[in-house]
Chains A and B, each alone.
Chain A
Amino acid sequence: MTDVVLRVNGKERKASVPPETTLLQLLREHLGLTGSKLGCDVGDCGACTVIVDGLAVNACLMLAGQVEGREVLTIEGLATRDRLHPIQRAFEERAALQCGFCGPGSIMSAKALLDENLDPTVLEIRDALSGNLCRCTGYTKMIDAIQDAARELREEKAALAVR
Chain B
Amino acid sequence: MKGFEYVSAKDARHAIALLAEYGPKAKILAGGTDLLVELKSVPEAPPAVIDITRAEDMKGIKVTDRGLVIGALATHSEIMSSPEIRERYPALVDAAHSIGAIQTRSLGTLGGNLVTAVPSLDSGPVLVALEALVTIAGPAGSREIPLAEFFVGPRRNALKAGELLVDIVIPRKNLGKPAGFQKFGLRKGQALALVNTGASFWLDPVKKVFVEPCIALGAVAPVVIRAPKAEAYLAGKKVTPEAMAEAGRIAAGEAKPISDHRASADYRRDLIAVLTRRSLEGALAVAERNQMESGK
Task: Name A's B-contacting residues (CB within 8 A).
Answer: 2, 18-20, 22, 41-44, 46, 49, 52, 55-58, 60-63, 65-66, 68, 109, 112, 126-128, 130-132
Contact assessment for A130 and B101 in the assembled complex, using a CB-CB cutoff below 8 Å: yes
Residue of A nearest to B36 (CB): A61
Q: How large, as a class, is the contact surface on chain B?
A: 20 to 34
Checking A22, A55, A68, A130 against B106 with a beta-carbon cut-off of 8 angstroms, the contacting residue is A55
Contacts of A56 in B (CB 8 A): 102-103, 106
Known A62-B32, A130-B102, A131-B100: A20·B2 in contact at CB below 8 Å: yes
Contacts of B51 in A (CB 8 A): 63, 65-66
Q: How many contacts between A and B, using CB within 8 angstroms?
A: 87
Closest 7 CB pairs of A and B: A131-B101, A130-B189, A19-B6, A55-B106, A20-B1, A131-B103, A130-B101
Complex Cα spacing A127 to B29, Å: 27
Contact assessment for B189 and A61 in the assembled complex, using a CB-CB cutoff below 8 Å: no
Contact assessment for B101 and A46 in the assembled complex, using a CB-CB cutoff below 8 Å: yes
Contact assessment for A109 and B104 in the assembled complex, using a CB-CB cutoff below 8 Å: no
Contact assessment for B32 and A20 in the assembled complex, using a CB-CB cutoff below 8 Å: no
Known A2-B6, A18-B3: A128·B36 in contact at CB below 8 Å: no
Residue of A nearest to B188 (CB): A130
Contacts of A19 in B (CB 8 A): 3-6, 49
Contacts of A42 in B (CB 8 A): 37, 40
Complex Cα spacing A38 to B93, Å: 31
Is the C-beta of B8 less than 8 angstroms from some C-beta in chain A?
A: yes
Residues B251-289 near A (CB distance < 8 A): none
Complex Cα spacing A41 to B38, Å: 11
Contact assessment for B36 and A63 in the assembled complex, using a CB-CB cutoff below 8 Å: yes
Contacts of A130 in B (CB 8 A): 101-102, 188-190
